[in-house]
């Protein structure tokens, strides 16, 4: 269950839909032989949007890991390892 509004599935799907639209725009820009600098600006916007989704997911995973680690019956070592893996994957994007 999301703890923040931006962690909700519908909010994330809206962000992804926006990125899909941006990608379609870039495809059209390339097909229309738009200047490369304009295409690169749009690609950077897509990269930023993708990184923001990753950040939101990492935040949500961190919160869930913390809550699970404090609950009876959950293995805090396993939860910490899951968080470490998520941070490692996130850092590859930077």
The model's pLDDT over 37-93, given as tens digits with 9 standing for 90+, comes to 999 999 999 999 999 999 999 999 999 888 888 888 888 888 899 999 999 999 998
Contact, 53 vs 16, CB < 8 A?
yes
Look at residue 68 in the predicted model and tell me its pLDDT: 85
Total number of domains in the chain: 1
| Residue 3 clears pLDDT 80, i.e. is over it | no
The boundaries of the domain holding residue 70 are: 5-93
Could you please report the per-residue DSSP string of 17-74?
A: HHHHHHHHHHHHHHHTT--HHHHHHHHHHHHHHHHHHHHHHHHHHHHHHHHHHHSTT-
Of 41, 37, 92, 86, which Cα lies nearest the Cα of 60? Answer: 86
Q: pTM here?
A: 0.83
CATH value at residue 69:
1.20.58.1000
Look at residue 2 in the predicted model and tell me its pLDDT: 58
């Amino acid at each position: 269950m999301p703890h923040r509004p931006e962690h909700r599935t519908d909010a994330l799907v809206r962000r992804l839909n926006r990125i899909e639209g941006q990608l379609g725009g870039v495809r059209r820009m390339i097909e229309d032989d738009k200047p490369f600098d304009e295409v690169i600006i749009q690609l950077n916007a897509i990269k930023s949007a993708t990184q923001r989704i990753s950040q939101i997911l990492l935040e949500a995973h961190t919160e869930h890991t913390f809550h699970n680690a404090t609950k009876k019956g959950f293995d805090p070592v396993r939860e910490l390892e899951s968080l470490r893996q998520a941070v490692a994957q996130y850092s590859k994007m930077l």
